[in-house]
């Protein structure tokens, strides 16, 4: 099964997806911070975590610290890096397993 996935993967689309979801995560954190400062409708925390879980961990973490947004919430300061590490370990395991 792994050989089929690797042989038929369109790597350009995979790379574009990863770049896009991380840009989206970065922008989402900045947008939510902007809205928080103006007491406007906010992006749900589940949405921000979902973007991270869909592969946008690097972007959301960079956005979190760039905009100093959600940095006092344990759910984000521990949760997002944990999701990112789990994804990286999963990818390494996938490619390293026989």
DSSP 42: -
**pLDDT of 98:** 65
pLDDT tens, position by position, 16-26: 999 999 999 99
Its pTM surpasses 0.75: yes
**What does the pLDDT average to over 60-74?**
96
State the burial class of residue 43 (Cβ atoms within 10 Å of its Cβ: 0-12, 13-18, 19+).
middle
């Amino acid at each position: 099964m792994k050989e089929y996935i690797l042989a038929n993967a369109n790597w350009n689309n995979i790379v574009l997806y990863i770049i896009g979801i991380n840009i989206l995560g970065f922008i989402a954190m900045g947008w939510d911070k902007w809205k928080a400062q103006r007491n406007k409708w906010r992006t749900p925390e589940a949405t921000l975590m979902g973007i991270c879980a869909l592969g946008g961990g690097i972007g959301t973490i960079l956005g979190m610290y760039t905009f100093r947004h959600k940095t006092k919430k344990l759910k984000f300061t521990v949760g997002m890096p944990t999701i990112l590490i789990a994804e990286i370990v999963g990818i390494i395991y996938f490619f390293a397993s026989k």
